[in-house]
């Protein structure tokens, strides 16, 4: 298990991600959609840091997961909020970690049920490898690898500070 | 108007009084009972009635007086019946719903109470039909009939054969605390009978009605009444009681119409027996 | 406490047959799951792919266009294939038994039966039969059985109450009308009690109340004005015309006078009380038009919530 000092610094990565995106996206015409829950926290930071005009969206992907038949309906399904027109939009999906790529695929499927976007990009804090689908982030400040039994999770403290934890499954 | 009724035998069941006592009445209210006038009587009454040899009592209540209106005016009229009532000391009468048309519509009840509002005579308290046309199939609009003046609901002598309808009728009446007056007679056992089943009927060759006709029907009614609270509801609370204080007397007699009727019939049997004996002598 | 046949050995919902016997957390989970489904209806593509490839058979042995349509919409919004069977017009008339019908349909690879039947207990029989013959993957949803239960209606009514009133534990709720014949009322009573509503009232004439109804956990009122005093939620029940023929009531006019919800009677409830009705309404019989169309009525939102609740139930069942 990585020690606390070996865990990636979430706050620093947020800043780095914002830097990477600044100048490469149009703040007047780009929409962010965060995936509950960690992705949404990151998206909130990016939205503020990049001064985006379009209101922030959020999705849950519970209804689009491909493991529903095996695992049933997730207990914490929340309603999606897409406060802009998807048709013809440039959307950046934001998540904390990309792993197998199935969550991102579910998010893309869900967005397509709202309309046909012009372009979709993916922004994540950490790419931990282990892809099972051909999905690649457009913006990602850090890669690392972890044993399959370990889950990398983003936490938010009471004061709003973000940090990573590793949970053994 | 001051009235002094003297020398009469005062009978008042409510206070269990039965002795010679005078009665003093002023402005329509009894203000004194006894040998001497009450304090505020002043000098003399406007009217003194000598009731020597008479009974002085509260007005009698006839629980089933047929006024012949509407429908049977060839037999008698409201005026004649109410005059007869007053002459006999009956000051309140309840009339059963088996008029023609049956008292199952608020409009008919209103017409009757309007017609009966004759000042010197008795008060009329209509008993509304429990089922439409007394047919024992569909319920009447009891709250409407009650508002039109019905004090209770009954079937005269038309039994409700369908016990489910009887149960539901009692439940509905009990919902609003309306009293239900029923005659206990099983219609099948009483069919075509004219006399009590027994020695007199046997001797005179009259079709008899067995006692079971009444006991079975009474048991049915009492069981259903217990289940629906049709009677129990009356005993509790209640706001309506205040409004109908005068009619409180009328409520008590669910079984009395039946017993009065059978007694009458028995009386007739014995008279018939005496007449037949006289013929044979 | 006997095990509910609706829950599998993990305590998850296997069938939805009745609200009675379901623990509070299961009911709450259904309401929580329904919330995101309300949003699906607002989208351009009103579908999620959860039940894609699954077959939902609507077995309606009793006619009902309304309920059948809402179940159909809910199943289709989950991307399921929906087959509607109005059994009056087909094999049951030829004498096929209920279980034979169920067997035949499961041989056609049904995944879910939505059953409405005039006999109380019919969906239980089907669910039991499926379990006994090793077909645990087939889920049964009760869309109304006799006078016994209508659990999805009870759930959507709870969802509606929670939407407008938030906390069940502070409410007084009155159910008004023909409780005797109502499966909706029975489901509502069980749900309200399980969710912790402190006072549940029923208001009806004695002829429309089942004997012993207090034992289900309600306070009985025959006087509507008394019963509505201080109430937070008024749940109206439909009065069917047949009740007049059965010597239960004299007429709809008299019923409306004593038990119809008019603005004047509604004023006895709390000023922010909501008025509900499972539909379809008989205006001028159980409810005055002024109330039905007024600001306190939430009857149309009930319909919307009904689709979301049914989607939630089917999604939860199919995933277990």
Comparing alpha-carbon positions, the chain C residue that sits nearest to A59 is C36
Which residue did the predictor score with more confidence, B91 or C291?
C291
Alpha carbon distance C126, C111 (integer Å): 13
From B141, B162, B229, residue closest to C250, measured CB to CB: B141
Do residue C80 and residue C171 come from a single domain?
no
From B165, B176, B228, residue closest to C247, measured CB to CB: B165
Do residue C182 and residue C112 come from a single domain?
no
| Shortest Cα distance, chain A CAs vs residue C35, angstroms | 7
A/C interface, count of CB pairs below 8 Å? 48
Contacts of A among chains (3+ CB pairs under 8 A): C
Do residue C249 and residue C311 come from a single domain?
no
Mean pLDDT of chain A: 91
Comparing alpha-carbon positions, the chain B residue that sits nearest to C203 is B175
What is the maximum span of chain C, computed from C-alpha positions, in angstroms? Answer: 57
Tokens of C278: 């499972």
Alpha carbon distance C138, C141 (integer Å): 10
From C206, C207, C254, residue closest to B143, measured CB to CB: C254
Say yes or no: A84 contacts chain C, CB-CB below 8 A. Answer: no
Comparing alpha-carbon positions, the chain C residue that sits nearest to B136 is C247
Tokens of B251: 């409520």
Residue C103 belongs to domain with CATH number: 3.40.50.1370
B152-201 per-position pLDDT tens digit: 999 988 989 999 999 999 999 999 999 999 888 888 888 888 888 888 88
Quickly state the pLDDT bin for C52 (edges 50, 70, 90): very high
Comparing alpha-carbon positions, the chain A residue that sits nearest to C38 is A79
Task: With respect to residue C17, please indicate whether it lies within any of the assigned structural domains.
Answer: no
Average pLDDT over residues C63-90: 88
| Shortest Cα distance, chain B CAs vs residue C249, angstroms | 6
Comparing alpha-carbon positions, the chain A residue that sits nearest to C29 is A75
Give how far Cα B99 sits from Cα of B69, B157, B258, Å.
7, 12, 19
C12, C36, C305: best to mutate for the A interface, most A CBs within 10 A: C36
Q: Model ipTM?
A: 0.82
Residuewise pLDDT in 10s, chain A (169 residues)? 556 567 889 999 999 999 999 989 999 999 999 999 999 999 999 999 999 999 999 998 888 888 887 778 876 778 889 999 999 999 999 999 999 999 999 999 999 988 999 999 999 999 999 999 999 999 999 999 888 889 999 999 999 899 999 988 7
Say yes or no: C250 contacts chain B, CB-CB below 8 A. Answer: yes
Mean pLDDT of chain C: 92
Do residue C129 and residue C228 come from a single domain?
no
Contacts of B146 in chain C (CB under 8 A): none
Kindly list the domain boundaries of chain A, sorted by start residue: 4-168
C225-235 per-position pLDDT tens digit: 999 999 999 99
Say yes or no: C205 contacts chain B, CB-CB below 8 A. Answer: yes
Q: Which residues of A151-160 are buried (b: 16+ CB within 10 A; e: fewer)?
A: ebebeeeeee
Comparing alpha-carbon positions, the chain A residue that sits nearest to C78 is A63
Do residue C164 and residue C250 come from a single domain?
yes
pTM (2 d.p.): 0.83
Say yes or no: C251 contacts chain B, CB-CB below 8 A. Answer: yes
B93-128 per-position pLDDT tens digit: 888 999 989 999 999 999 888 888 766 677 889 999
Domain count, chain C: 2
Question: Cβ B171–C258 below 8 Å, yes or no?
Answer: no
Do residue C191 and residue C294 come from a single domain?
yes
Q: At CA A111, angle to CA A106 and CA A114, rounded to 5? A: 140
B211-223 per-position pLDDT tens digit: 888 888 888 888 8
Contacts of C29 in chain A (CB under 8 A): 75
Contacts of A84 in chain C (CB under 8 A): none
Do residue C159 and residue C284 come from a single domain?
yes
From B143, B164, B229, residue closest to C258, measured CB to CB: B143
Do residue C294 and residue C208 come from a single domain?
yes
Per-residue model confidence (pLDDT) at position B82: 83
Identify which of B23-27, B275-279, C258-262 has the greatest average pLDDT: C258-262
Confirm if B90 and B124 have CB atoms less than 8 A apart.
no
Q: Which helix (H) or strand (E) holds C199?
A: strand C199-203
Contacts of C254 in chain B (CB under 8 A): 141-144
Do residue C146 and residue C173 come from a single domain?
no
Which residue did the predictor score with more confidence, C99 or C269?
C269
Alpha-carbon dihedral C127, C128, C133, C136, rounded to 10 degrees: 50
Per-residue model confidence (pLDDT) at position B199: 84
Question: Cβ B143–C245 below 8 Å, yes or no?
Answer: no
Residue C2 reports pLDDT greater than 90: no
Which residue did the predictor score with more confidence, B66 or A20?
A20
From C39, C40, C320, residue closest to A72, measured CB to CB: C320
Per-residue model confidence (pLDDT) at position B255: 35
Question: Cβ C50–A73 below 8 Å, yes or no?
Answer: yes
Do residue C30 and residue C112 come from a single domain?
yes
| Contact call for C and A: 3+ CB–CB distances under 8 Å | yes
Residue B280 reports pLDDT greater than 80: no
In terms of residue numbers, what domain contains C211? 151-299
Task: Residue window 94-153, chain A: list those with CB within 8 Å of chain C.
Answer: 109, 112-115
C193-215 per-position pLDDT tens digit: 999 999 999 999 999 999 999 99
Contacts of C50 in chain A (CB under 8 A): 63, 68, 73
A28-50 per-position pLDDT tens digit: 999 999 999 999 999 999 999 99
Per-residue model confidence (pLDDT) at position A73: 80
Question: Cβ C249–B142 below 8 Å, yes or no?
Answer: no
Average pLDDT over residues C172-194: 96
Per-residue model confidence (pLDDT) at position C216: 93
A118-142 per-position pLDDT tens digit: 999 999 999 999 999 999 999 999 9
Domains of chain B: 2-56 (2.30.40.10), 60-280 (3.20.20.140)
Alpha helices in chain B (DSSP H): 78-87, 106-115, 142-148, 163-175, 199-204, 212-228, 232-235, 239-243, 248-251, 256-280
The candidate with the shortest Cα–Cα distance to C143, out of C205, C240, C196, C68, is C68
Contacts of B among chains (3+ CB pairs under 8 A): C
Alpha carbon distance C173, A117 (integer Å): 47
Q: How far apart are the first and last CA of chain A?
A: 12
Do residue C271 and residue C167 come from a single domain?
yes
Do residue C286 and residue C173 come from a single domain?
yes
Comparing alpha-carbon positions, the chain B residue that sits nearest to C221 is B175
Confirm if B164 and C247 have CB atoms less than 8 A apart.
yes
Contacts of A114 in chain C (CB under 8 A): 43-45
Per-residue model confidence (pLDDT) at position C33: 93
Out of 3.40.50.720, 3.40.718.10, 3.30.70.141, 3.40.50.2020, the CATH code matching A4-168 is 3.40.50.2020
Quickly state the pLDDT bin for C100 (edges 50, 70, 90): confident
Say yes or no: C244 contacts chain B, CB-CB below 8 A. Answer: yes
Q: What percent of chain B lies above the pLDDT cut of 70? A: 81
């Amino acid at each position: 298990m990585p020690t606390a000092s070996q865990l990636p610094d979430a706050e620093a990565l947020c800043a780095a991600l914002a830097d990477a995106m600044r100048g490469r996206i149009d703040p007047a015409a780009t929409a962010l959609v965060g995936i509950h829950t960690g992705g949404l926290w990151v998206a909130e930071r990016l939205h503020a840091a990049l001064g985006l005009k379009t209101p922030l969206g959020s999705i849950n992907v519970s209804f689009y997961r491909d493991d529903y038949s095996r695992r049933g309906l997730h207990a914490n399904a929340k309603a999606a909020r897409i406060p802009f027109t998807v048709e013809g939009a440039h959307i950046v999906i934001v998540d904390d970690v990309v792993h197998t790529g199935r969550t991102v695929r579910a998010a893309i499927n869900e967005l397509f049920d709202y309309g046909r976007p012009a372009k979709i990009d993916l922004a994540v804090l950490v790419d931990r490898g282990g892809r099972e689908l051909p999905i690649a982030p457009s913006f990602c400040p850090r890669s690392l690898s972890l044993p399959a039994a370990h889950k990398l999770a983003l936490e938010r403290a009471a004061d709003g500070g973000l940090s990573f934890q590793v949970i053994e499954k | 108007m001051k009235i002094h009724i003297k020398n009469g035998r005062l009978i008042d069941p409510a206070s269990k009084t039965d002795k010679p006592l005078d009665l003093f009445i002023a402005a329509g209210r009894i203000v004194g009972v006894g040998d001497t006038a009450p304090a505020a009587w002043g000098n003399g009454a406007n009217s003194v009635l000598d009731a020597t040899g008479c009974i002085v009592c509260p007005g009698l209540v006839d629980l089933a007086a047929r006024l012949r209106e509407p429908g049977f005016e060839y037999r008698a009229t409201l005026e004649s019946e109410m005059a007869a009532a007053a002459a006999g000391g009956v000051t309140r009468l309840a009339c059963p719903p088996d008029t023609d048309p049956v008292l199952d519509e608020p409009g008919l009840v209103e017409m009757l109470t309007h017609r009966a509002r004759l000042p010197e005579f008795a008060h009329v308290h209509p008993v509304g039909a429990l089922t439409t046309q007394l047919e024992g199939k569909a319920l009447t609009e009891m709250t409407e009939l009650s508002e039109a003046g019905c004090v209770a609901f009954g079937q005269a002598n038309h039994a409700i054969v369908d016990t489910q309808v009887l149960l539901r009728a009692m439940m509905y009446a009990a919902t609003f605390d309306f009293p239900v007056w029923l005659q206990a007679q099983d219609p099948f056992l009483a069919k075509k009978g004219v006399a009590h089943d027994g020695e007199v009927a046997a001797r005179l060759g009259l079709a008899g009605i067995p006692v079971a006709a009444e006991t079975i029907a009474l048991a049915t009614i009492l069981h259903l009444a217990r289940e629906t609270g049709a009677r129990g509801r009356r005993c509790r609370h209640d706001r309506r009681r205040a409004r109908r204080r005068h009619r409180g007397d009328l409520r008590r007699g669910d079984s009395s119409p039946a017993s009065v009727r059978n007694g009458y019939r028995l009386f007739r049997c014995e008279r018939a027996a005496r007449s037949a004996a006289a013929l044979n002598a | 406490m006997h095990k509910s046949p609706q829950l599998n050995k993990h305590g998850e919902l296997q069938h939805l047959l009745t609200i009675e016997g379901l623990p509070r957390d299961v009911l709450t989970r259904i309401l929580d799951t329904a919330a995101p489904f309300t949003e699906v209806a607002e989208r351009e593509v009103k579908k999620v792919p959860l039940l894609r490839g699954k077959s939902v058979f609507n077995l309606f042995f009793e006619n009902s266009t309304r309920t059948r349509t809402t179940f159909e919409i809910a199943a289709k919004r989950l991307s399921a294939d929906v087959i509607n069977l109005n059994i009056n017009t087909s094999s049951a008339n030829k004498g096929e038994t209920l279980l034979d019908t169920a067997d035949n349909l499961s041989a056609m690879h049904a995944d879910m039966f939505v059953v409405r039947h005039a006999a109380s207990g019919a969906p239980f029989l089907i669910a039991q039969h499926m379990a006994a013959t090793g077909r645990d993957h087939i889920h049964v949803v009760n869309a109304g059985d006799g006078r016994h239960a209508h659990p999805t209606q009870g759930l959507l009514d709870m969802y509606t109450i929670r939407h407008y009133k938030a906390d069940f534990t502070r409410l007084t709720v009155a159910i008004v009308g023909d409780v005797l014949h109502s499966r909706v009322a029975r489901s509502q009573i069980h749900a309200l009690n399980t969710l912790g509503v402190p006072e549940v009232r029923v208001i009806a004439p004695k002829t429309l109340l089942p004997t012993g109804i207090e034992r289900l956990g309600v306070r009985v009122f025959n006087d509507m004005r008394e019963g509505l005093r201080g109430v937070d939620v008024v749940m109206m029940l439909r009065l069917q015309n047949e009740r007049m023929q059965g010597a239960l009531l004299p007429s709809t006019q008299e019923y409306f006078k004593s038990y119809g919800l008019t603005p004047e009677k509604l004023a006895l409830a709390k000023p922010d009380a909501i008025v509900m009705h499972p539909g379809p309404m008989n205006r001028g019989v159980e409810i005055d038009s002024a109330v039905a169309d007024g600001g306190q009525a939430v009857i149309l939102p009930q319909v919307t919530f009904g689709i979301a609740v049914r989607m939630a139930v089917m999604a939860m069942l199919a995933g277990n």
